[in-house]
Structures are given as C-alpha cells and as structure tokens.
Amino acid sequence: MKSAIEVRNLSWSYGEEKVLRGIDFQVEVGKFYSVIGPNGSGKTTLFKLISSALELKGGSIYLNERDAKTYTKKELAKTVATVPQNTAVEFDFSVEDIVMMGRSPYLRRFQSESEVDLEIVECAMKMVDIVHLREKKINGISGGERQRAIIARAIAQSADIMLLDEPISHIDLRYQIELLDTVRKLNREKGVTVVAILHDLNLAAEYSDKLFLISKGEIVAKGSPEEVLTASNIEEVYGLKVNLVENPETGKPHIIPLYSQF
C-alpha cells in the first residue's frame, strides 16, 4: 500500500491544553477518507498540521512518502489542496479570481495565466455550478456559494491530495450531495486522495472508503464504515444511543438516533 499521508506519533498543544495525543495513521493513495468526531476533538488542528498551516512540534508527517518538512511552499501547494472551515475572504475579489488563485503554484512571478490555466478554472467552476457567479464579488454572494467557490479553487489547484474541513456545513442538501459526488468523481476518476472532516455520519458512511473516529485528541477507531460506525463506538464518543440499519440501496450503515422521552 502506497501512502498519500502518513502521520507518526503526532501531538499538539495550545498552551497547557493538549489537543492531539500520539496520533498514528496512514491514508492510502487514491482513497476517500472521512475524519469524524465531536466538536473540539482535534480534527481541524490535525488538518492544519498536515497542510503546514501550523508548525509541527511533536511527531512526523509524510506526504507521498516524503517528509513534509522537506517541501517548499510551491511543492506543498501542488501536493495538498485545502478547503478550510472558515471560508471568509478579506479582499473582495471576483469569484473567478478566487478560483484562479488555485493556479498560482504553477505560475512564475508576474507570469500571466495560460489557456490551460483558464480551461482548468472554467472546468472547476462548472463542476460546482458557479459559472454564473464568475463576475460576482466573493463577499457579495451567499455563504453556501462562497463555499462552492473555495472548493472550486481547490479543484483548480490540481493537487494529489485534497483536505476538506466541513465542506458541506453551509450548503443546502442538494448541493451537499452534488459536492460530495463531485469530490468522489475526482477521487475515482482522477485518483485524487480525499480526506474530509464530516459531521453527518450517514454521509460519511456513504462516501468514504475508510473512517477515522477521533475523540479527545485520540483516534479511537479506524477502518471501514461498518467497522467504525458501531452502536458502542457512537455511544462512547457522542454519548448517544442509536440503532444501525443497512441502507438498502448501498449496503452502508445508516444511523437512527434514539431520542429520549420528553
């Protein structure tokens, strides 16, 4: 198995607060993984360390079997595309300009975009249905539309690995499914390795080859959706009793919460 991401004994603290504790895992090239777990369990911090948005202090990270510390900024940008949880943009660029920023790792200083760059950007906007927004200012569109623009930027980046931190959190149900379908298509047809933080456990089960379940800064379960999404794991981590049934269309586990009597 060739690994796209390998994390070894990764720990991280904010001051005295330990956020990650001795994390170890491998992400196989060309697979779709989801990271699940309650708020505050360290998922976003993990992504920031993988993408070098935070400086690594304890442990090691390898990208495509190469130490992440040895990558230049441009090399890293060609390897890992990130869709952050916070998609706010400080400057009011057009939507098309935002998506074009995904091509910056491939351009020399002061070099103009080529026809190839323009075609890639056009394709990325079509994939997430924002072509009609191309001239709109990024801060003049809805949060869900802005989220799709940031995902288009990541697609235009043409990286080997895509990290998505809650990519569907501000999007209505139709676009949630369409975006996850688009990301899975990139994964299946282009071989892009995908790791997504998802709060919807049923969608994580449907789209993922494998899951990592994180609680209190530790991975408490990893494996297929069937192996990770058990009633006992969910009760232990989320404090919620559930029934699990099989989705008759896909065979994947489907979670039904058991509500208390009021």
Q: Is 194 helix (H, G, I), strand (E, B) or coil?
A: strand
Q: Looking at the chain, which runs of residues are DSSP E strands?
A: 3-14, 17-28, 32-36, 58-63, 66-67, 80-83, 161-165, 193-197, 210-215, 218-223, 242-246, 253-257
- pLDDT at residue 5 greater than cutoff 70: yes
Q: Is 48 helix (H, G, I), strand (E, B) or coil?
A: helix
In this predicted structure, what is the pLDDT of residue 88? 76
In this predicted structure, what is the pLDDT of residue 260? 55
Q: Where in the sequence is the domain holding 173, given as residue range(s)?
A: 3-257
Q: What integer best gives the mean pLDDT of the chain?
A: 92
Q: Quick check: is 16 in a domain?
A: yes
pLDDT digits (tens, 9 = 90+) for 240-261: 999 999 999 999 999 999 875 4
pTM for the model: 0.92
pLDDT digits (tens, 9 = 90+) for 212-241: 999 999 999 999 999 999 999 999 999 999
Q: How many domains does the chain have?
A: 1
Q: Quick check: is 178 in a domain?
A: yes
pLDDT digits (tens, 9 = 90+) for 54-73: 999 889 999 999 999 999 99
pLDDT digits (tens, 9 = 90+) for 168-200: 887 888 889 988 999 999 999 999 999 999 999
pLDDT digits (tens, 9 = 90+) for 23-46: 999 999 999 999 999 999 999 999
Q: Quick check: is 262 in a domain?
A: no
Q: Quick check: is 69 in a domain?
A: yes
What's the CATH number where 55 sits? 3.40.50.300
Q: Which secondary-structure segment (H or E) carries 142? A: none
Q: Quick check: is 126 in a domain?
A: yes
- pLDDT at residue 262 greater than cutoff 60: no
pLDDT digits (tens, 9 = 90+) for 75-134: 999 999 999 988 778 788 999 999 999 999 998 877 788 999 999 999 999 999 999 999
In this predicted structure, what is the pLDDT of residue 86? 80
In this predicted structure, what is the pLDDT of residue 144? 84
Residue with tokens 């904010």: 14
Q: Quick check: is 94 in a domain?
A: yes
Residue 116 CA, chain-centre distance (Å), reads 26
Q: Which secondary-structure segment (H or E) carries 96? A: helix 95-100
Q: Quick check: is 241 in a domain?
A: yes
Q: How far apart are CA 11 and CA 32, in angstroms?
A: 24
